[in-house]
Amino acid sequence: MAAIPFIGRLHPYEYFALVASFLIAFLELIVRTITLLLPTPIIRIFYRLSRNAFNSLSSPYSRRARNRRKNVSSPLAQAHDFVELCEQYGYLAEEHVVQTKDGFLLGVHRLAWRRGEEDQRVNNGPASIQKKVVYLHHGLMMNSEVWVCITEKERCLPFLLVEQGYDVWLGNNRGNKYSKKSLHHGPTDTQFWNFSMDQFAFHDIPDSINYILSATHQPSLSYIGFSQGTAQAFATLSIHPALNNKVDVFVALAPAMAPPGIASGVVSSLVKSNPQVLYLLFGRRAILGSTTMWQALLYPGIFTWVIDKSLAFLFGWKMANIAPHQKLAAYPHLYSFTSTKSVVHWFQIIRNGTFQMFDDEVTSPTSFSTGSKYYKVAKFPTRNIKTPIVLVYGGSDSLVDIKIMLKELPRHTVAKCVPKYEHLDLLWASDVDTLVFPHVLEALESYALPSDTKGQALGWQTRTRPSIFDTAGVTPNGTAPPGYSEDEPARNHGMPHTPAFEYERPSTAEEQMDESDNDDDDYADDSPSSPDGPVAFTPSAFAHSSRPPISDARAADISIHNTARRTRQAPASNAGASRQRTATVTTAQPNQQDEDTIHSQTLQNSPDSTGISTSADTDRTVVRSRPEGWWSSTSSSVVSLVEPASPSIPQRIPARQG
């Protein structure tokens, strides 16, 4: 029985869930067809009825609070595109088109100018203003709008980076709102939608990065991804070794690699069943294409309620850290088109528990041979990534298993946990500017190369790029791991690290959308929209962070063996302050029974005048290292958590003898 995949994978109760999913999809098809046949006046009547019903079920206080915030959320929710969203805050956005090697045309957006800099040339030759480049990429079934549909400018990462002096680019996947064109196929053609994450990794990400570097005349950029945007970076950096020299640092927000599973029994049954079942449900073109129709027909409050309930049903998320007015502004921009095949790819990854390429040889439901003994899908070799990686994940994110993820990533990966954060909180939470952004800024300042033109960077290109590895003590007898080059010892200058903090800031967002009686006061009249025009951005808006200065950090220190010191001058802030960081990396010789060495850092820092200190209110920082012989297929890795000590007595763990 187990030899038949469609039957052997499912439990009896999962068959009921599978049948229920077909019934739900069929019911939605009937309702959608009837709705499309109705005349417009009838649809408007139903819209008014739904609005009145929603308002009647809300408390008077909730209605008043919602009306107060309507001038904030409504313009953002009704904005048609990325450029219009940026105009709400007075930023000039450029639109670019990237042609991939397989003929897809991808829309890419650029934010390079602070307010008042629009007449300046940025990264456009030696006479222009030189800025470091940052590339941001969205998640599954999203587009670049999710980064800028924020109700307070201080919580918008692209706007913050622009004000910090970066040249910000935002990419889009093929098939979504801004990339729905190909030189070979139309969007109504099934072949147009025949793509998965493999195509994102082989074409979309590397071609977008190469285009941006060519347009800005820069040798490298920094990459910030969210959700699937991180998975695409993991994949493309692992299969394109040369691309590692073009990415200074990879910051992964809500990283996704091999999710542990789906909370919903209905979706879990689809994950375990044959992929043909998903194609039968949603077709072979765009998945959930009717979402935009329901968004246009439903009253915004009801649409937001439906999204909240759907996310709770699928992933168990409570969405309590995102304010109601932020949901009203962001949910209309949450969905964008993608292929059913890309979702099938994720189901294969979840089912097999490994970050693999798409399995094209799908076993037939009537086949009696699974072929698992003779056939294996290629994995993305993520341990080969050389680019520095900083993971920022939520402590309550059901899609992230950080221990499993760290085992599949190189030893220099740094992980930072934000307690009580779920998946979407890394984008839209009410306190994202104090709990997440400091990690991002610190990673960029620590690893990003100084801005330079290509002509000036020729010397850099002829030299080996500085490595973040400290190879001493890695091998027991002086042998080098695979991929080790002769000049690696000359590249072992210590990289800046981040300390562990014990401070944890509770969430301040409203927990419910309409039942709250006093939470809306927290969002009272700091609206970005005003009669006088866009609100001016001030760096001091980020000075209210409760994070301690680096000099007071309670970091653990494990000492024995090789010590690498490096002093680095960080780029000046907007206020002209400079930061000097001294990093000490100490490595402990592992016991024979230990599987991992623990890396801990002690950093000293003088706070700058802008009030943006490094690292943030997280409960712990995970820094990962591999033991001797870590490249062996038989070795395993264990995540080590370094808890902060008391402020008066630094925590020191003696080295193990053995």
The single residue listed with the structure tokens 């000097």 is: 580
Q: How confident is the model at residue 314 (pLDDT cuts 50, 70, 90)?
A: confident
Q: What is the predicted pLDDT for the residue at 268?
A: 74
| CA pair distance 569, 561, nearest whole angstrom | 26
Q: What pTM was estimated for this model as a whole?
A: 0.68
Q: Mean pLDDT for the chain?
A: 72
Q: What is the DSSP string of 525-583?
A: S--S--TTSSPPP-GGGGTT--PPPGGG----B--SS-EEEEEEEPPP-TTS---EEEE
Tell me how crowded residue 9 is: count the other CB atoms within 10 A of its CB. Answer: 15
Give per-residue pLDDT as tens, 614-637.
444 444 444 444 433 333 333 333
Does residue 611 carry a pLDDT above 80? no
Does residue 510 carry a pLDDT above 60? no
Q: What is the predicted pLDDT for the residue at 263?
A: 64
Tell me how crowded residue 72 is: count the other CB atoms within 10 A of its CB. Answer: 22
Q: How confident is the model at residue 526 (pLDDT cuts 50, 70, 90)?
A: very low
Q: What is the DSSP string of 147-210?
A: GT--SSGGG-HHHHHHHTTEEEEE---TTSTT--EESS--TTSGGGG---HHHIIIIIHHHHHH
Does residue 1 carry a pLDDT above 60? no
Q: What is the predicted pLDDT for the residue at 244?
A: 96
3-state DSSP call for residue 398? coil
How far apart, in Å, are the Cα atoms of 373 and each of 271, 369, 370?
22, 10, 8
Q: How confident is the model at residue 411 (pLDDT cuts 50, 70, 90)?
A: very high
| CA pair distance 151, 98, nearest whole angstrom | 30
Domain spans of the chain, in order of start: 49-360+378-442
The region of weakest confidence among 88-92, 211-215, 245-249, 583-587 is 583-587
Cite the active site residues.
227, 397, 423
Q: Give the 3-state secondary structure percentages of the chain, helix then strand then coil, rounded to 5.
A: 35, 15, 50
Q: What is the predicted pLDDT for the residue at 12?
A: 65
The region of weakest confidence among 25-29, 48-52, 301-305, 459-463 is 459-463
Q: How confident is the model at residue 357 (pLDDT cuts 50, 70, 90)?
A: very high
Q: How confident is the model at residue 279 (pLDDT cuts 50, 70, 90)?
A: confident
Does residue 126 carry a pLDDT above 90? no
Does residue 26 carry a pLDDT above 90? no
Question: What is the crossing angle of helices 340-352 and 275-282, to 10°?
Answer: 150
**Phi, psi of 391, deg, nearest 5:** -95, 130
Nearest alpha-carbon partner for 409 in 624, 581, 603, 617: 624
How far apart, in Å, are the Cα atoms of 253 and each of 204, 250, 392?
19, 10, 5
Does residue 395 carry a pLDDT above 50? yes
Q: How confident is the model at residue 120 (pLDDT cuts 50, 70, 90)?
A: confident
Q: What is the predicted pLDDT for the residue at 555?
A: 38
Does residue 333 carry a pLDDT above 60? yes
Q: Read off the tokens for 292.
A: 């935009």
Q: What is the predicted pLDDT for the residue at 14?
A: 61
Q: What is the predicted pLDDT for the residue at 44?
A: 83
Q: What is the predicted pLDDT for the residue at 654?
A: 45
Q: What is the predicted pLDDT for the residue at 39?
A: 86
Q: How confident is the model at residue 10 (pLDDT cuts 50, 70, 90)?
A: low
Does residue 233 carry a pLDDT above 60? yes
* Superfamily holding 49-360+378-442: Alpha/Beta hydrolase fold, catalytic domain (3.40.50.1820)
61 vs 580, residue with greater confidence: 61
Q: What is the predicted pLDDT for the residue at 30?
A: 84
**Phi, psi of 21, deg, nearest 5:** -65, -40
As separate numbers, helices (DSSP H) first and strands (DSSP E) second, the chain gives: 20, 14
Q: What is the predicted pLDDT for the residue at 483?
A: 38
The single residue listed with the structure tokens 């002086």 is: 478
| CA pair distance 582, 568, nearest whole angstrom | 7
112 vs 583, residue with greater confidence: 112
What average pLDDT does this structure show over 308-331?
92
Q: What is the predicted pLDDT for the residue at 65?
A: 67
What average pLDDT does this structure show over 538-548?
37
Tell me how crowded residue 465 is: count the other CB atoms within 10 A of its CB. Answer: 17
Q: How confident is the model at residue 107 (pLDDT cuts 50, 70, 90)?
A: very high
